[in-house]
Homo-oligomer: A and B are copies of this chain.
Amino acid sequence: MPRAGLTPAAVVREAAVLADEVGYDRLTLAALAGRLGVALPSLYKHIKGADDLHRKLAVLVTTEVADELTTAAAGRAGGDALCAVATAFREYARRHPGRYVAAQRAPDPADPEHLAAAERAVGAVYAILRGYGLTGDAAVDATRMFRAAVHGFITLEAAGGFGLPREIDRSFDQMVSALDTAYRGWRSR
C-alpha cells in the first residue's frame, strides 16, 4: 500500500478547503481523512488532534488574511485605503466562509507565528489610521471600531441576519464611508 505523503501543512491546507466547502462546523476529522484518502487515526501522525487542527487552521487563515489586507492597502491612503481593506476583508470572507470562521480563534500567547500574523493583519488597519492623524489610544480605539464593524457586518451577513431587501453591498459601502467620516472628525471625548 503506497503512502499518501502527507505533511502537517498538507493536512491543514486540505482542512481549509473542506471547511469552505461544507462549513466550519462540519469540518470533521473523519471527513478530512476521507478526503485525503487515509484512515482517520493516520491524521494523528501530523496533527495532535481536532483542537490542534483548529489552531493550525486559525494560523493559516490569519496569515492569508494579513497578506490580503496588506496587499489591498499597498499604495493607498485615507478613505481609499479604508475602503480597499474593508472590501478585501469582506470578499475574503465571502470566498472562504469556512476559513473565516476558523480565524476567530484568538492566538495562543505562546504561539509566535499566530501572534505575528494577527499583528500583521491588525497593523494594516492601524497604519491606515495613522494617515488620519490618529495615534496612541485614539488609534487603538479607532482600529477596534474598524475591526468590530467589518467583522460584525461579515458575520451578520454570513448568518443571514440582514433580512430586509435593501442591497447589502450598498449598506456596506455606506458603513465604510461613515467610518471614513468618523475618522476624519475623530476627537478624544
Contacts and interface: CB of A to CB of B under 8 A. Distances in A.
The number of times this chain is found in the oligomer is: 2
Interface in A89-118: 104-107, 118
A9 interface: no
A53 B182 CA distance: 41
B174 A178 contact: no
A147 B152 contact: yes
A144 B171 contact: yes
Interface size, A (range): 35 or more
Majority SS at the chain A contact face: helix
Contacts of A151: 152, 155-156
A162 interface: yes
A132 interface: no
Contacts of A141: 166, 170-171, 174-175
A141 B148 CA distance: 16
Interface string A138-168: 1011101101111111011001111110100
Given A106-B161, A152-B152, 15 more contacts: A106-B163, A137-B166, A138-B174, A141-B171, A144-B156, A145-B153, A145-B171, A145-B175, A145-B178, A147-B152, A148-B148, A151-B156, A152-B153, A174-B189, A178-B182
